Amino acid sequence: MSISIHQLSVSKLLAVLKGAIILPLKTNSVGRLGRISGKLNLKNKGEITIGRNVSFHAKPFPSSISVDKQAKLTVGDNVFFNYGLDIGCTKSIRIGSNTIIGPMVNMMDTNFHPVDVEDRTRSQDIVISDNVWIGRGVLILPGVTIGHNAVIAAGSVVTRNIPANTLAGGTPAKVIREISVPNEWIRRYN
């Protein structure tokens, strides 16, 4: 996918420039055409790998990403993050290519505090597969895998795995129905 200079608006050009300056400084690896518009608070004590053509649209509300020591956040190619994003990574979070993350989404791979004395709270991996759409205000909790092409409805709390090619929603999120996604179909281009 090539973008001509005539297709770039001033705001897009500024977002590309901001991404070209900030992302290489704050991440371990970043692909071409990373974009940041608005305020992105990026704290990296572990490892952050970001693919090509990844966009952080952090306005009107800022976004925050925190990766702890020995933790790893991996983002594929052609991923879009909307405003109000909050990622807390203490072990491992992997976000697949061609994924759309809606506004005000929160994902954390640990509960941070035990509920009671028997609670052995620990970090658990989060895996979001390729071509997934996460709706507005979704909360993704530790140990969850979301399958390829899945859609998570706005306001859902994802507490367990969601299979590929399904629409899921609710609190806790459950499969609502299967969805038809042809092979090689990509939900959105940046």
pTM score of the predicted model: 0.90
**What phi, psi does 141 have (nearest 5°)?**
-100, 170
CA dist 25 and 22 (Å) reads 5
Write down the catalytic residue from 6, 57, 113, 148: 113
Please list the residues that pair with 162 across neighbouring strands. Answer: 146
Q: For residues 48 and 26, is the Cβ–Cβ distance under 8 A?
A: yes
Q: For 75-93, what is each residue's pLDDT tens digit?
A: 999 999 999 999 999 999 9
pLDDT band at 17, cuts 50/70/90?
confident
Q: What is the pLDDT of residue 117?
A: 75
Q: Which of 6-10, 63-67, 76-80 has the lowest mean pLDDT?
A: 6-10
To the query of whether residue 148 is one of the catalytic residues in this protein, the response is no
- Is pLDDT above 90 for 122? no
Q: Which of 8-22, 32-46, 56-70, 172-186 has the lowest mean pLDDT?
A: 8-22
Look at strands 174-178 and 166-169 and give their pairing.
antiparallel
DSSP tag of 156? -
Q: For residues 162 and 178, is the Cβ–Cβ distance under 8 A?
A: no
- Is pLDDT above 80 for 123? yes
Q: What is the pLDDT of residue 1?
A: 44
